[in-house]
A and B are shown apart, each in its own frame.
Chain A
Amino acid sequence: MNACIEVKDLTKSFNGRVVVDGITFHVEEGEVFGLLGHNGAGKSTTIDLLLGLKKPDCGTGTIFGLDPRTNRKAIFERVGVQLQSSNYQNNIRVDELCKEMSALYKKPEDYHRLLQFFSLEKFEKSQVNKLSGGERQRLSVALALINKPEIVFLDELTTGLDTAARREVWRHLKELKKKGTTIFLTTHYMEEAESLCDRIVLIKDGSKVTEGTVKNVIENSPYENLEEAYLWYMGEEVTQ
Chain B
Amino acid sequence: MKRFLKLYMIEQKLALRSSDMLTFGVAMPVGVLILINMIAGSKQAGAGFTYLDSSFASLIAVGICASAFMGIPLTIADYRDKKILKHFFTTPCSPMWILGSDMLCCGVTALLSAVSVAFVSVVFLGYKMQGNVLAFMGSWLLTLVSMFSIGLLMASLCRTVKSVNAVTTLVYFPMLFLSGATIPYELFPSGLQKATGVLPLTQGIKLMKAVSMGAEIENVWKIVMLLVGITLICTVVSVKTFRWE
Question: Which one of B14, B79, B82, B86 contacts A91 once the chains associate, using CB atoms below 8 Å?
Answer: B14
- Indicate if B13 sits at the interface (CB-CB under 8 A): yes
- Sorted nearest first, the 3 A-B pairs with minimum C-beta distance are A87-B82, A81-B90, A103-B6
List, in ascending order, chain B residues with CB within 8 A of A101's CB.
91
Q: Is the CB of A104 within 8 A of B92?
A: yes
Complex alpha-carbon distance, A79 and B87, angstroms = 12
- Indicate if B93 sits at the interface (CB-CB under 8 A): yes
Q: Is the CB of B84 within 8 A of A86?
A: yes
Q: Is the CB of A53 within 8 A of B7?
A: no
CB contact under 8 A between A88 and B89, given known A96-B10, A96-B13, A99-B10 = no
CB contact under 8 A between A96 and B14, given known A86-B87, A103-B7, A104-B93 = yes
Q: Is the CB of A83 within 8 A of B82?
A: no
Identity of the chain A residue whose Cβ is nearest the Cβ of B7 in the assembled complex: A103
Question: Which one of A76, A91, A100 contacts B18 once the chains associate, using CB atoms below 8 Å?
Answer: A91
Chain B proximity of A185: nearest CB distance (Å): 15
Chain B proximity of A136: nearest CB distance (Å): 13
- Indicate if A89 sits at the interface (CB-CB under 8 A): yes
List, in ascending order, chain A residues with CB within 8 A of B82's CB.
86-89
- CB proximity to B under 8 Å, residues A52-77: 52-53, 72-74, 76-77
Question: Which one of B3, B10, B78, B88 contacts A90 once the chains associate, using CB atoms below 8 Å?
Answer: B78
Q: Is the CB of B83 within 8 A of A83?
A: yes
Q: Is the CB of B14 within 8 A of A77?
A: no
- Indicate if B17 sits at the interface (CB-CB under 8 A): yes
List, in ascending order, chain A residues with CB within 8 A of B81's CB.
87
User: How would you classify the secondary structure of chain B's contact residues: helix, strand, loop or mixed?
Assistant: helix
Q: Is the CB of B84 within 8 A of A88?
A: yes
Size band of the B side of the interface? 20 to 34
Size band of the A side of the interface? 20 to 34
- Indicate if A179 sits at the interface (CB-CB under 8 A): no
Question: Which one of A73, A77, A81 contacts B87 once the chains associate, using CB atoms below 8 Å?
Answer: A81
Question: Which one of B3, B11, B83 contacts A104 once the chains associate, using CB atoms below 8 Å?
Answer: B3
Identity of the chain A residue whose Cβ is nearest the Cβ of B18 in the assembled complex: A91
CB contact under 8 A between A87 and B84, given known A99-B6, A99-B10, A103-B6 = yes
Determine which residue in B11, B18, B81, B87 has the highest number of CB atoms from chain A within 10 A of its CB, and name it: B87
Complex alpha-carbon distance, A53 and B78, angstroms = 19
Question: Beyond the given A100-B7, A100-B10, A105-B91, could you list 11 further A-B residue pairs with CB under 8 A, ordered by the A residue number?
Answer: A51-B90, A53-B86, A53-B90, A72-B89, A76-B90, A83-B83, A88-B84, A89-B14, A89-B84, A91-B14, A103-B7
- Indicate if A122 sits at the interface (CB-CB under 8 A): no
Complex alpha-carbon distance, A76 and B93, angstroms = 9
List, in ascending order, chain B residues with CB within 8 A of A81's CB.
87, 90
List, in ascending order, chain B residues with CB within 8 A of A209's CB.
none
Of the A-B pairs whose beta carbons lie under 8 Å apart in the complex, a sample of 13, sorted by A's number, is A52-B89, A73-B92, A77-B92, A79-B90, A87-B82, A90-B18, A96-B13, A100-B7, A103-B7, A105-B92, A106-B92, A147-B91, A153-B90
Chain B proximity of A99: nearest CB distance (Å): 6
List, in ascending order, chain B residues with CB within 8 A of A72's CB.
89, 92
Determine which residue in B10, B17, B78, B91 has the highest number of CB atoms from chain A within 10 A of its CB, and name it: B91
